[in-house]
Structure 1
């Protein structure tokens, strides 16, 4: 959940505030967007999917690392710092030159959609992530119904989207060459609505 951007500050001021802040916030071209606590289902889904990513990486003995929502991504082209709900990095973790607490090379990014962030995650935030050279796969998880969209970069400017609907299906992640059951992503999530 996010509050609207209401003040303009320098990147240095943002980073200094973020070090002391009780709550996370995102930064884009001088504007700060406060992040508030998400729903219980949002937290459960985030934990479930990050656990599945870690398991897949371990089972395949890949030189990847799964990182949760506590680590921010610096997107230089957008002059932005954002907190995805999860991400995967291939090889060495690279950090921003001006901030060792922000990574710059996620290959896969996960966002759990909420009513307040869904449009931004599908639009502006996705376009910002696209400017990251390593970025190849984007996973958008609906927290209200069992629907997951996976966007995969086929060519530098061409993305393919596959939508998976229903708890009896599995989501295929091309970057990791793994299928994750939707039932595992939505394990212990309450009040799911019918997908259609």
Structure 2
């Protein structure tokens, strides 16, 4: 989640050095830094559920998986973002300790305040990462997963998944019932049904 920008322009190197000393996380876009704000419990639970499922799937392999606090760099000059979940299977990221530059999978859990940015400018920036094969958007208010997958012709294709279905992430050969991503999550539709039954 992105709040208002801090007004000072920074070079990518200045940002990386400055952010290490800050008490909160900041994203970096075109020389400006943006404070990250807190998300909802549903947002955190969905990201945590996916991370848990991916961790079990990837255990013992060569891929590294990250949740919340791992920074991705579109290039060494930025932009720099904090995806909700990310996986890199690239040897160049094997010993990274501050920034991942070669992810194959990036996941964002949508919130009303950032949805248009996640779908638009952020996806546009992420598509510049040559190793990226899938970009996933997960709804936090209703059971809905959208997977943008890069095909063999270099075209991004959209695959959608809804309640009762199994999602598939080809970049890491991962299958999972969509219900597992929403385990322990109270959706708006659930709250409306509860209210109408009273």
How many residues are aligned here? 189
Within-5 A mapping of 1:113-192: 113-155=110-152, 157-166=154-163, 168-192=164-188
Distance 1:85 1:32 in 2: 18
Higher Cα radius of gyration: 2
For 1:49-90, what per-residue CA distance to the aligned partner results, in whole angstroms no more than 9, with x for missing partners? 1111111113xx542121112110111287311100011111
2:13 equivalent in structure 1: 12
Shift of 1:143: 0.5
More strand by share: 1
SS in 1 for 2:175: strand
Distance 2:153 2:66 in 1: 25
Runs of 5+ unmatched residues, structure 2 = 191-198
Alignment of 1:29-178 (within 5 A): 29-58=30-59, 61-76=60-75, 79-94=78-93, 100-155=97-152, 157-166=154-163, 168-178=164-174
SS of match in other structure, 2:151? strand
Is the CA contact (8 Å cut-off) linking 1:77 and 1:131 kept in structure 2? no
CA pair 93-42 structure 1, distance change in 2 beyond 3 A: farther
8 Å contact kept, 2:12–2:76:
no
Instruction: Output the CA distance in 2 between the equivalents of 1:126 and 1:29.
Output: 15
The whole-number CA distance in structure 2 between the counterparts of 1:93 and 1:171 is 28
Shift of 1:13: 2.5
Deviates more, 1:114-123 or 1:10-19: 10-19
- Please state how far the C-alpha of 1:17 moved relative to its aligned partner: 2.2
Structure 1 portions without partners, runs of 5+: none
How much is the aligned-residue C-alpha RMSD, in angstroms?
Answer: 2.1
After TM superposition, give the deviation of residue 140 of structure 1 in Å: 0.5
